[in-house]
């Protein structure tokens, strides 16, 4: 017999508790939505679902922007979409860099031919509006970019003060909302944000694969006034918008089932209520912090700049960082994240995102972490569960 191949058994992925920087645990009803029948990308039932997705996305992003829809691809495709559509070669772009994702924006903007100036800040701290002003040195810029929730460090960046800076520089304001959306308040219109992108696998609790984006009227104007075509055919918003708009012109085949998942995830957000959802993230984040500190661990970010959905914890002296993560996974089925860049080996990153931000997960994480740290001889200081319960 020729051509015989060993056919692998069907996949049987383990059920984990995802407490890392993403993906986060997916709600059961979202997983069920993914399994619904695939229809054509111009099927009337699907067109209606697309309109509902756009309507729900606008509410969740705090905007009335017409150009609001999910791009096919993960969060990074949203980043690239915003930059490739707004930048023309030679444009001057100012980017806040205090973590991995600011660094990535610099890389992408340079590939778009921009003249990039980075506003460098300490990893683990927010950037002040003055730091942006100083770096700009009074020169004009086409675009100012900032990361609202730096997942690599757990830092929350205030966006409203950056609007004024952008105005003074004559720049559009672009914000990365990948980890903030549906976990901490995002108000694009109130804050005067011109372009934003997010991702599905953080606080939206949907699998990775889509990136919601939104462009203000001003950003759309900049796009329509380009002197040259957008260099990426796939991410060209003038083309993609013709499918998501009333014309329904075929561009690429929409990832139908992924969009079912996003529809359900957005429904769950609105059913819970945005305020309630953000309050839940805040409450569980604070309980986790209290528990970690009671254990005798140090948090990497000052409280005023800390994200409730992503906590960076310093690895104590004498503890094997990777072994803790391995033990959590093997003994408890819990995934947490490692440090990145300059924080590699120095911190763990614990996510409490979307469906994963629960009291139960706080307790589970603190108990499991106590156990694996004790295995390495770490002297636990206090009672983390009592401290968490006291919040």
Ligand X SMILES: *Cc1c(COP(=O)(O)O)cnc(C)c1O
Residues at the interface with ligand X (CB under 6 A): 22, 74-76, 79, 101, 147, 149, 151, 176, 178-179, 199, 208
Query: Nearest residue by C-beta to ligand X?
Result: 75
In the complex, what is the shortest distance from the CB of residue 208 to ligand X, in angstroms, rounded to a whole number? 5
In the complex, what is the shortest distance from the CB of residue 61 to ligand X, in angstroms, rounded to a whole number? 15
Residues in the chain: 391
23: preceding bond cis by omega (within 30 degrees): yes
| Rg over CA atoms, the chain | 22
Q: Are 82 and 95 spatial neighbours (Cβ–Cβ below 8 Å)?
A: no
What residues does 195 pair with on adjacent strands?
A: 174, 215
Nearer to ligand X, 78 or 384 (CB): 78
Nearer to ligand X, 24 or 370 (CB): 24
Nearer to ligand X, 79 or 388 (CB): 79
Nearer to ligand X, 74 or 284 (CB): 74
| Bridge-based pairing state of the strands 347-351 and 337-338 | antiparallel
In the complex, what is the shortest distance from the CB of residue 314 to ligand X, in angstroms, rounded to a whole number? 20
Q: Are 70 and 195 spatial neighbours (Cβ–Cβ below 8 Å)?
A: no
Of 307, 32, 83, 297, nearest in space to 179 by CA: 307
In the complex, what is the shortest distance from the CB of residue 175 to ligand X, in angstroms, rounded to a whole number? 10
Please measure the distance between the N-terminal and C-terminal CA atoms of the chain and give it in whole angstroms: 67
DSSP summary character for residue 355: G
Nearer to ligand X, 170 or 341 (CB): 341
In the complex, what is the shortest distance from the CB of residue 179 to ligand X, in angstroms, rounded to a whole number? 4
Distance CA 203, CA 205 (A): 5
In the complex, what is the shortest distance from the CB of residue 176 to ligand X, in angstroms, rounded to a whole number? 5
Nearer to ligand X, 118 or 368 (CB): 118
Alpha-carbon distance values, 23 to 53, 165, 172, 251, 309 (Å)? 21, 33, 30, 28, 12
């Amino acid at each position: 017999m020729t051509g015989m191949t060993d056919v692998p058994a069907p996949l049987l992925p383990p059920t984990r508790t995802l407490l890392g920087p993403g993906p986060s645990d997916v709600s059961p009803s979202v997983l069920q939505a993914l399994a619904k029948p695939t229809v054509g990308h111009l099927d009337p039932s699907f067109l209606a679902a697309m309109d509902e997705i756009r309507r729900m996305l606008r509410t969740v992003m705090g905007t009335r922007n017409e150009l609001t829809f999910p791009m096919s691809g993960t969060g990074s495709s949203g980043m690239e979409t915003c930059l490739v559509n707004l930048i023309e070669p030679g444009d001057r772009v100012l980017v806040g860099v205090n973590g991995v994702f600011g660094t990535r924006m610099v890389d992408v903007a340079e590939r778009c031919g921009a003249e990039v100036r980075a506003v460098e800040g300490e990893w683990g701290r927010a950037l002040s509006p003055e730091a942006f002003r100083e770096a700009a040195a009074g020169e004009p810029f086409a675009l100012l970019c900032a990361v609202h929730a730096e997942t690599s460090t757990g830092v929350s960046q205030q966006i409203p003060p950056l609007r004024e800076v952008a105005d003074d520089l004559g720049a559009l304001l672009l914000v990365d909302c990948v980890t903030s959306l549906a976990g901490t308040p995002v108000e694009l219109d109130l804050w005067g944000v011109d372009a934003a992108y997010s991702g599905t696998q953080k606080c939206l609790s949907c699998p990775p694969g889509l990136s919601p984006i939104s462009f203000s009227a001003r950003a759309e104007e900049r796009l329509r006034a380009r002197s040259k075509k957008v260099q990426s055919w796939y991410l060209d918003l003038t083309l993609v918008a013709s499918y998501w708009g009333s014309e329904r012109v075929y561009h690429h085949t929409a990832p139908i089932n992924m969009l079912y998942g996003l529809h359900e995830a957005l429904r769950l957000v609105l059913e819970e209520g945005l305020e309630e959802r953000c309050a839940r993230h805040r409450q569980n984040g604070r309980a986790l912090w209290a528990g970690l500190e009671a254990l005798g661990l140090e948090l990497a970010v000052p409280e005023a700049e800390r994200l409730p959905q992503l906590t960076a914890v310093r690895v104590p002296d004498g503890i094997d960082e990777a072994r803790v993560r391995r033990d959590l996974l093997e003994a408890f089925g819990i995934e947490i994240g490692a440090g990145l860049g300059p924080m590699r080996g120095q911190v763990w990153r614990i996510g409490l995102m979307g469906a994963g931000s629960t009291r139960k997960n706080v307790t589970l994480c603190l108990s499991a972490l106590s156990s694996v740290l004790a295995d390495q001889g770490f002297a636990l200081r206090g009672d983390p569960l009592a401290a968490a319960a006291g919040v």
